[in-house]
Chains A and B, each alone.
Chain A
C-alpha cells in the first residue's frame, strides 16, 4: 500500500461521531437517549405521541445535542430526525427528535448509523442542532416510544417525571 492509498482510505472513512456513553442496559430496560428533563409520554405537546399511538414511553427535553441508542439491537429506521431500533431484548424503540421536525428534511441532523447496523445501548446515533430546530419553530423534545408496546404488559418510567437524567441512564422498564 502506497502513501496515496493511506490518504485515500482516511478520506473514505465515515465521519467520527461523539464517544459512546455508559448505558444501564438490561433485558427489560430502555435507556435515556439524551441528557435532559424527563416527561411522561402523555405530556408530549403532540396528540400522536401523547395519545400513545406510536407507543408508550416518555420524552426528554434535551440539555445536549447528541442522541444515543436506548437499547442494543439493529437499526431498522433512519429518517434524519428519527431512528428506530429493534432491540436484541425484543423491545422496539422509536427515538423521534422534536415535533413536526419531518419538515426539516434532515437539515440540522447528523446521522451516525444506517438501516441494518448493529448498535450498542449508549452508542451515538444522531446529533441534532437545537438552534436549527428552534429556527424551524419546533419543540425539540426527544420522544422515546416503545413502538411494540402492545406486546408487553406494561411500560413504566423508572425515574420521576420532571427529573433530569443523563444519556444512558435507565428511564423505562418493560414488563413482559
Chain B
C-alpha cells in the first residue's frame, strides 16, 4: 500500500473535468485508489463520490493506492491530480 498527500492546485478544486481525468487515468489500472479529505473518503473510480468530497483549491487530499500496479498508479496520480 502507498499513501501520499496531495494539495489541490486548481482553485476550483475537484470539479467535473479533473475527476473525469482521474477516472480515465485509472481505467486500465488494477489498484484500488481512495481519496480522503476531512475524515471522508471516496473511491477514485466513483465520480459522484469524488465530487461529493467538495474538495477546494488548497485542500490536502490523502491518497491511498493498493494493488499490483500501485507504484505506477501512484506516479500517474501525482501528475493527474489537479
Contact residue among B12, B16, B17, B49 (Cβ-Cβ distance under 8 Å from A76): B49
Specify the chain B residue showing the minimal Cβ separation from A149: B47
Q: Which residues on A sit within 8 Å (CB–CB) of B47?
A: 54-55, 84, 92, 94, 147-148
CB pair B51 A92 closer than 8 Å: no
Given the complex of chains A and B, what is the CA–CA distance between A100 and B23 in angstroms?
Answer: 19
- Chain A interface extent, by class: 10 to 19
CB pair B15 A54 closer than 8 Å: no
Contact residue among A53, A76, A102, A103 (Cβ-Cβ distance under 8 Å from B52): A76
Q: Which residues on A sit within 8 Å (CB–CB) of B16?
A: 48, 54, 82, 94, 96, 102
Report the count of interface residues on B (CB-CB < 8 A).
Answer: 16
Q: Which residues on B sit within 8 Å (CB–CB) of A53?
A: 20-21, 23-24
A175 close to chain B: CB less than 8 A: no
Q: Which residues on A sit within 8 Å (CB–CB) of B68?
A: none
A130-156 near B? 1/0 per residue, CB < 8 Å = 000000000000000001100000000
Given the complex of chains A and B, what is the CA–CA distance between A86 and B52 in angstroms?
Answer: 11
